[in-house]
Amino acid sequence: ARPDALPRSMEGVRVVISAGGTREPLDPVRFIGNRSSGKQGYALARVAAQRGATVTLVAAHVADLANPAGVNVQRVGSALELRDAMHAAAAEADVIVMAAAVADFRPVSLVTHKIKKSDADPEPVALTKNPDVLAELVAARREGQFIVGFAAETGDAENDVLSYGRAKLKRKGCDLLVVNAVGDGKAFEVEDNAGWLLTADGHETPIPHGSKAQLAAAVWDAVTLK
């Protein structure tokens, strides 16, 4: 642990965590979604609560997960709902963690009735960009608030996972970025570890292979408060 890391106890620390995958509605019965299970966000909430923090968990769609003991769980659907819930909760937070898989795009229009098929081919679904919630929370950051982002990267022919992570940390302006190497990356992409913790002040710590609870503990160990 770094010398200025939080003590094991998080008594009196108010944290807000987003988890799961947003669902972007097309009509009353259909949506565009993603495969996020929410398990990492729930593990972060559980470990923080175990360490004594006051925890709010803003949960989009998740696998069949039990609410972590002692955690205030707020359910949301779309990215816009998640954004509203995060801004409201962030006003009272010392630490904010964006572990949710927020859809980058949503359908331009929400059709109020169930879309019917006909003999003709369907129109393409027009999409528009969702707001970048993490960037907004950073822009609205209160003095002393600590903000954590997540990034899942595969690397590609131009850049490896770590350089994409460094660029994302800069672009987002958060204090800590958890970078997960995903996909069947080649050795030069992932090196020996499945990820890194990158801090705004330039610390780069490899994340040892382990459970989501162990990763959660490593994240909380890396969070610092003024």
Element (H, E) at 214: helix 212-222
Is 172 a known ligand-binding residue?
A: yes
Is residue 168 marked as binding?
A: yes
Residue 151 contacts ligand CTP per CB under 6 A: yes
Selected from 11, 92, 104, 204, the binder of Ca ion by CB under 5 A is 104
User: CA–CA separation, 185 vs 120, rounded Å?
Assistant: 42
The answer for residues whose C-beta is within 8 angstroms of residue 93's C-beta and 6 or more apart is: 14, 15, 16, 56, 145
- Biggest CA–CA distance in the chain, Å, is 67
Q: Is 64 annotated as a binding residue?
A: no
Active site residue 67: no
Contacts 24+ apart (CB under 8 A), 162-170: 162/196, 162/204, 165/196, 165/198, 166/198, 169/198, 169/200
Stretch of 48-56, 95-103, 181-189, 216-224 contacting ligand CTP, by CB under 6 A: 95-103
* Sole binder of ligand CTP in the list 150, 199, 222, 223 (CB under 6 A): 150
* 100 binds ligand CTP per the rule CB under 6 A: yes
Site of interaction with ligand CTP (CB under 6 A): 79, 98, 100, 102, 104, 130, 132-134, 149-152
User: Given the rule CB under 5 A, which residues bind Ca ion?
Assistant: 104
Q: Which residues are catalytic?
A: 34
